[in-house]
Structure 1
Amino acid sequence: MNALSIAFRVLRVDRRTRTSAFLTAVGVAVATSLVLLLLGLPYAVDAREERVAWQNKAEQTLVDQRQDAPALIKISTDRFGDQEIGRLDVALTGKGRLDLPPGVTRLPGPGESLVSPALAELIDKQPASSLGERFGKVVGYIGSAGLRHDDQLFA
């Protein structure tokens, strides 16, 4: 008899051994899952933060205070009820070229705005005087590549 057939015979006969083997297998599966999660998590967080770095006040990758800056940019927070809305106001100076952030295909003109799909849905549900007028004419959407998550409210 080989070792595998002895193991199967013991597992068939003894209930305590079956329970012990099952719990050991569950423990190994949980531990393996946690190790894989811990190994992959830093890369996932870094990728997300790179994608939305243009929204962060700390990094301010688009903000340039030089005299020859291609744009003047103001990052702020707006509120509607108990919801926080991220806001990025851009004024082109005409000096040089401004690289577009991920999820944005073109910059809006004066009085226009690009909003996240979740914010567009919220604007559509509310009277224009309570929310829509804050952002001017909505001419497009910020793609998911430029948002932290699908429900982010950003203009």
Structure 2
Amino acid sequence: MSKHHVTTTVNGEPAEFLCEPHHSLLDALRDELKLTGSKEGCGSGDCGACSVIVDGRLVCSCLMLAVEADGHAIETIEGLAQGEVLHPLQRKFLEHAALQCGFCTPGLLVAAKALLDRNPDPTETEARYWLAGNLCRCTGYDKVIRAVLDAAAEMRGE
């Protein structure tokens, strides 16, 4: 099989890589671009640990072929902070102790960002529904939801 050349934008920066036709976007992000924040938890789109945003849409990167990223804009956990300045979601996760082992945290943060990009003032029910695709074995979800709602309020200036 011949490798495919993919040109994309990752976290606002141009990116290029070569990949096999069967490689997932998660494989390309981790192995080719060395962006290892997104994790493979299940490989079947059930856990959300590999969540990224593609052209404004939340995607399980384990289910998307890397070749499908050609020409698209991708946001990963590595793009959330601005240099040393944490994104409000990251700060609120820390303040609310909304993480423990950290394996699911990148996916939860990316999913929460996708929610707030789409709906800056979600209800608790909307936040719980939106994050239902992200599984966590350590935290329980109450602290995560509180962190997301608190970050949303801060981002709205409240």
TM-score range, shorter-chain basis?
A: under 0.3
TM-score computed with the length of structure 2 as normaliser: 0.27
- Structure with max Cα Rg: 1
Q: Which one has a larger percent helix, Structure 1 or Structure 2? A: 1
